[in-house]
């Protein structure tokens, strides 16, 4: 994995952990959502100036952002993490959990 690929993966992981959309990240970095999209797709590169902005935005040191998603997530302040949805049957990104009486045993 190249450094730009690792940084894009880190941004994706941080957005997921905080529940931020590209539009929200863009607002925090004073960029447009389109610029975030192009940077995250690899059509444009993240700059060193962007790296500083991202570090400030998430409260994660620059060197931890470059180290990759696992390190960056371990340094993400608890106050920046979204609260997990603990509602019964809630399974983020995968739809509702099946009701046990509906699960067929093989």
Q: Does 55 fall in a domain?
A: yes
User: 70 in a domain, yes or no?
Assistant: yes
- pLDDT value of residue 35: 97
Residue 17's pLDDT is 95
- Work out the pLDDT band at 82, boundaries 50, 70, 90: confident
Residues 6 or more apart in contact with residue 13 via CB below 8 angstroms: 69, 72, 73
Tell me whether residue 86 is in a domain: no
> Average pLDDT for residues 49-64, to the nearest whole number?
96
Give domain status of residue 23, yes or no: yes
Residue 91 lies inside a defined structural domain of this protein: no
Question: Taking the model in full, what pTM does it have?
Answer: 0.76
Instruction: Provide the CATH number for the domain around residue 56.
Output: 1.10.260.40
Q: What are 30's two structure tokens?
A: 């004073």
Domain annotation covers residue 104: no
Report the chain's mean pLDDT, rounded to a whole number. Answer: 86
Residue reference for tokens 């993966």: 9
In a domain, 100, yes or no: no
Give the count of beta carbons closer than 10 Å to the beta carbon of residue 8: 19
Distances in Å between the Cα of 31 and the Cα atoms of 44, 51, 54, 87, 98 are 13, 13, 11, 34, 41
Place of tokens 């049957």: 89
What confidence tens digit (pLDDT) does each residue in 21-53 have? 999 999 999 999 999 999 999 999 999 999 999
Quick check: 76 pLDDT over 70?
Answer: yes
Ramachandran area for residue 19 (φ above 0: left; ψ -120 to 50: alpha; else beta): left
Within-domain flag for 53: yes
Structural domain boundaries enclosing 58: 3-80
């Amino acid at each position: 994995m190249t450094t730009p690929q690792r940084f894009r993966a880190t941004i994706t992981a941080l957005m997921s952990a905080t529940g931020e959309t590209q539009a929200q990240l863009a607002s925090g970095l004073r960029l447009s959502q389109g610029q975030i999209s192009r940077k995250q797709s690899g059509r444009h590169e993240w700059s060193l100036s962007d790296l500083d902005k991202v570090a400030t935005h998430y409260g994660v040191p620059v060197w931890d952002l470059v180290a990759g998603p696992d390190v960056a997530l371990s340094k993400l302040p608890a106050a920046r993490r979204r609260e997990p949805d603990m509602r019964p049957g809630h399974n983020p990104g995968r739809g509702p959990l099946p009701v046990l009486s509906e699960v067929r045993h093989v």
